A and B are shown apart, each in its own frame.
Chain A
Amino acid sequence: MTTTPTPETVAALLPEVAELIVAALNLEMSPGEIDADAPLFGDGLGLDSIDVLEISLVVSKRYGFQLRSDNEDNVRIFSSLRALTAHIASQRSQ
């Protein structure tokens, strides 16, 4: 069931998703250091497609849904920590 999460719901979930990313990718930073609105690719965190697959795996395990590229805009979902978190909040089944 897809619902549009409130900004408050997204903000509350942000720290958890940040922690998930840092742990999954062994990043040399603390979760709080990730700027929620900075790009995850390129000039921000500098993630690549390998990272995206690794994140998708932990997201599917934790939140009980599969990421798909055919009906969603990957670029948008991974544009920032906040965008990824909003996507999780709207899709999660657990």
Chain B
Amino acid sequence: MKHLPLISRHGLDDTLAWRHDGPVSVRRFLAEAAALAARLPDGDWLLNLCTDRYRFAVGFVAGLLAGKTSLQPASQSAETLARIDTAYPGCCCLRDGAFATGTLPCVDYPDLSAASPETVAEIPEIAAERVVAILFTSGSTGLPQAHCKTWGKLVANALAGASTLGLLETPMNIVGTVPAQHSFGFESTFLLALHGGCSFWAGKPFYPQDIVNALAALPRPRLLVTTPFHLSTLLAAELPLPPVDLLLSATAPLSAELAGRAEAACGAPVREIYGSTESGQLASRRTVDGARWHLLPGVDLSQDGDVIYAENGHVEGRIALGDRIERHADGSFTLLGRHSDLINIAGKRTSLAWLDHQIASIDGVVDAAFFLPDEADDTAITRLTAFVVAPTLSPTRLLAALRQRLDPIFLPRPLVMLESLPRNTTGKLPRQALQALYEGRRKND
């Protein structure tokens, strides 16, 4: 069986990460991961809830060393945790903050400063065929879909991403504002450090001032891995920015206008990654150069009817893409919009059908429909509206019930209580009818 090293392009004494107390060598990182592995309970699954990127990384590798697979759900709602407890018996959580894990057993991230780096003599090898992570998407009709990631494909994804961004020639120090558990952050912060020769800042800076401080704490060259919304907020704060050498954005389309402002403010190119949890990273572009995306090395697209598939390279199998795509003769492509009712809010995906199913499952709801207004621009996050018929429920009680089922980002704002929904004679709810309801309410503001 083929094996690949846990970490490449770094020697044992190279810096893998930067914490508040300074650089962390590969040797120390591996020693801490081994020490943590010894403290994890038996079982095949690890739900790594650490928000600190370094602790997530130590937890992930500790799980690998202990024979566990990392579960990375799209949401951390109470319902998701309960579902994991049922579907993955013996799963344990690793957390670095006060997070309620329901019925799941939990390990609090321990102090690992006593681990002995001098005992680490080599970088471990991991079987390429081994499933090391399962990333989840919210399925369109209820159950979350699991997407298995083998070690070999994850390493290939990291190399393809690093090669496209020029990191193989010029490794960078990464500050990420995105969670390490979600596919973009997982691939473009954690995996770029393991196999792209990069190192990463341990924190997950949130406020603009945090991002500035994290960048300033790292030597150049610096790579900021972020989202359109975080980038827009950072620029709006008008803080003096330390020099940045590259910006990378994903989770939602970046406008050329915002990309242009970011390039001017940072004096660095802004690149975007296109991909999905199912397929991994597929293509990139420099936003100000135009709408066309360029495939990562090894990845191919094919077409069957209206649907475009990604395959080969680091893609696991043949993956149908959720976007409508126009392919060009030179191999590049343009995104035309989402298929069907898939929606993406601040990088979190779901479908209107799934949301409608969730709200309709609440006792007292007679009829309900979620609606996503057309987006105005990328400096603000467009929120969902829900139109609901539930004569016996107060909005407060309905929201409390929804909160048990949905990620907060999908909670409706506003929640509009009606006596009936404008269903047509066949019982359907045309989008135009919901749009008219939405606009009618806005006029009354």
Q: Which residues of A contact B (CB under 8 A)?
A: 25-28, 41-43, 46-50, 52-54, 56-57, 60, 66-70, 74-75
* Interface pairs A-B: 5 shortest CB-CB: A66-B209, A48-B408, A28-B414, A67-B207, A68-B209
Taking the closest CB of chain B, its distance from the CB of A75, in whole angstroms, is 8
List residues of chain A with CB within 8 A of the CB of B399: 46
Q: Which residues of B contact A47 (CB under 8 A)?
A: 408
- Within 181-227 of B, Cβ neighbours of A (below 8 Å) are at 203, 205-210, 213
Q: Considering the chains assembled together, what is the distance between the CA atoms of A27 and B413 in angstroms?
A: 7
Instruction: Name the residue on B nearest A70 (C-beta).
Output: B210
Known: A49-B206, A53-B230. A68 touches B408 (CB 8 A): no
16 additional contacts, CB 8 Å, given A56-B233, A68-B213?
A: A25-B413, A26-B413, A41-B408, A43-B403, A46-B399, A48-B411, A50-B346, A50-B409, A52-B206, A54-B233, A54-B380, A66-B207, A66-B239, A67-B207, A70-B213, A74-B206
Give bound CA distance, A27 to B229, whole Å: 19
A60 contact set on B, CB distance < 8 A = 208, 237
Contact of A46 among B20, B203, B381, B411 (CB under 8 A): B411
B236 within 8 A of A: yes
Residue numbers in A under 8 Å from B233 (CB-CB): 53-54, 56-57
| Residues in B neighbouring A41, C-beta threshold 8 A | 408
Most buried by A among B20, B208, B229, B400: B208
Q: How far is the CA of A46 from the CA of B404 in the complex (A)?
A: 12
**Identity of the chain A residue whose Cβ is nearest the Cβ of B416 in the assembled complex:** A28
Q: How far is the CA of A46 from the CA of B380 in the complex (A)?
A: 18
The CA of A47 and the CA of B377, in the complex, are separated in Å by 21
Q: A46-B411, A48-B409, A70-B210 are in contact. Are A53 and B205 (CB under 8 A)?
A: no
Contact across chains for B206 and A53 when beta carbons are under 8 A apart = yes
Q: Report chain A residues within 8 Å CB of B237.
A: 57, 60, 66
* A69 & B210 in contact (Cβ 8 Å cutoff): yes
Name the contact of B403 in the complex, choosing from A46, A50, A54 (C-beta under 8 A): A46
Given A42-B403, A43-B400, A43-B403, A50 and B205 contact (CB-CB distance below 8 Å): no
Nearest chain A CB to B437 CB, angstrom units: 14
Q: What is the 8 Å Cβ interface bit string for chain B, positions 1-38, against chain A (1 contact, 0 not)?
A: 00000000000000000001000000000000000000
Sample of 22 A–B contacts (CB below 8 Å): A46-B399, A47-B408, A48-B408, A50-B229, A50-B346, A50-B381, A52-B206, A54-B380, A56-B233, A57-B208, A57-B236, A60-B208, A66-B207, A66-B208, A66-B209, A67-B209, A68-B210, A68-B213, A70-B210, A70-B213, A74-B206, A75-B98
- Fill in one digit per residue for B390-403: 1 if any A CB lies within 8 Å of its CB, else 0: 00000000011001
Give the distance in Å from the alpha carbon of A45 to the alpha carbon of B249 in the complex: 30
A62 to B235, CA, bound (A): 16
Residues on the A chain within 8 Å of B229, using CB: 50, 53
Enumerate chain B residues within 8 angstroms of A70, measured Cβ to Cβ: 20, 203, 210, 213
Nearest-CB residue, chain B, relative to A28? B414
- Name the CB-closest residue of A to B414: A28
